[in-house]
Amino acid sequence: MHKTITFSTNKREILVDITAEVVSAVQQSGVRNGLVNVYAQGATAAIMIQENWDDSVQTDVVNLLKKLIPHGVWLHDRQDGNGDAHLKAGIVGPSETIPVINGKPGLSTWQNIFFCEFDGPRSNRKVVITVINNNP
């Protein structure tokens, strides 16, 4: 089963919690045991599993990547000013795959699934959620 979620982002760089949408897709699929893949469409976005307790970890991730990969110093910036966003997305990666256990994503208590925006704000971001059944 595939489900595409669409949403907007309101900052240039932000982690957006999409866990509820992934949980909903898994429940809609009816899959009890399998895998769920979460894939960000777009070359300047990524998917990350990270702590959900408070916003400090997400803020720290954004701040670390800003320090490691600064804005405005890359060859690609000559085209459209977002060379850093491409590099950040490439390092974090476009997807995560999570086991489905008893009809739910197998996340720990402190884990959530985040869409990583590195080139916002954007009015139309898409994430493809694919649920695969291990029991044919």
Whether cis (ω within 30° of 0) applies to the bond prior to 99 is no
Number of folded domains that form the chain: 1
Burial of 109 (0-12, 13-18, 19+ CB in 10 A): exposed
* pLDDT the model gives residue 135: 77
Range of the domain at 41: 2-133
* pLDDT the model gives residue 134: 87
pLDDT per residue as tens digits for the range 5-34: 999 999 999 999 999 999 999 999 999 999
pLDDT per residue as tens digits for the range 49-80: 999 888 899 999 999 999 999 999 999 999 99
CATH number of the domain bearing residue 42 = 2.60.120.460
Average pLDDT over residues 119-133: 98
The pTM score is 0.95
pLDDT per residue as tens digits for the range 78-121: 999 999 999 999 999 999 999 999 999 999 999 999 999 999 99
**Residues 49 and 96: beta-carbon distance below 8 Å:** yes
CB atoms within 10 A of CB 127: 25
* pLDDT the model gives residue 136: 64
Whether residue 124 is predicted with pLDDT greater than 70 in this model: the reply is: yes
- Percent of the chain at pLDDT > 70 equals 99
CB atoms within 10 A of CB 7: 15
Strands 14-17 and 111-117, by their bridges, are: antiparallel
What residues contact 86, with CB distance under 8 A and at least 6 apart?
43, 44, 76
CA distance 86 to 60: 19
CA distance 92 to 35: 20
